[in-house]
Structure formats: C-alpha cells, structure tokens
Homo-oligomer: A and B are copies of this chain.
Amino acid sequence: MNERQRESTGFLLKQRAFLKVFLITEIEQGRSYGLQLRDILLTHFQAYGFKPHHSEIYHSLHELTEAGILRKREELEEGAKYKKLSIYTIEDEEKAKAYKKLVKADLDRCQGLINKALSHNYA
C-alpha cells in the first residue's frame, strides 16, 4: 500500500496499483487463483496493449495478502492430476474498499492529466 507514494512527483498511476484494484474486483466476484486472474485480465486489457508478466500478478497478490486485504488458501484441484492451486478470497472487505477508493482518486487524476495533455499538445 505504501502511503508515502503521495508526495512523489505524481506522474501516472503505477502498474502495481492498477493490477491490485483489478485483482480485488475479480476476487470480490468469486474465488480465484493467479494464472486464471491473468487470463481474465488479458481478455479485458490486452486490446489496449497491456499484457503484464505473470510475476507481476503474483507479486500483487502477495502484497495484497500481506496487507491483510486478501486471504490465501492452498487447495488441491481434483482432475486428471492433483494440482495445487493458490486460491484467493477477500480477507477484509473494508480495507479492500478503502484501497479501491484510494486508487480511484489516482485514476481520476490520471484521466485528467492525459486529457489535459491531449488538448494542450494537439489543439
């Protein structure tokens, strides 16, 4: 989370924050695991050229877990083989909402910044 990211030079949103709100949103709608979440991400954002590496997804999930927002549980998936999945669910709904709210403010700011750049430089 790192509240000291305020008081930076404040350019655009960090990828990590972008990923975290996406992950929270998806997990709010049901249990899920790393690579599955990445697949969902790609269906939504690959059209915009965004295709983060799997390590970024895992790193984000780990940080959200350490922050007490998500809970991780390992499960054995029945199937042709026994595969161990790391299933994530929401641990603290309040913290999740608070974090999403924080990032929304930054997304709004970025939207303004980019719109301003477009109108200023391409009038």
Chain B minimum-CB-distance residue to A16: B11
A2: Cβ under 8 A from any B Cβ: no
Write the nearest CB–CB distance from A48 to chain B, whole angstroms. Answer: 4
Copies assembled: 2
Q: Quick check: is A58 within 8 A (CB to CB) of the other chain? A: no
Whether A21 is near chain B, meaning CB under 8 Å from some CB there, is yes
Q: Does A104 contact B (CB under 8 A)?
A: yes
Contact present for A48 and B18 (CB under 8 Å) = no
User: Does A1 lie at the interface of the complex (its beta carbon under 8 Å from any beta carbon of B)?
Assistant: no
Instruction: Kindly provide the distance from the CB of A50 to the nearest chain B CB, expressed in whole angstroms.
Output: 5
Proximity string of chain A (1-36) to chain B, C-beta cutoff 8 Å, 1 when within and 0 when not: 000000001111101001001101100000000000
Residues of A participating in the B interface, judged by any CB pair closer than 8 Å: 9-13, 15, 18, 21-22, 24-25, 44-45, 48-53, 56, 100, 104, 107-118, 120-122
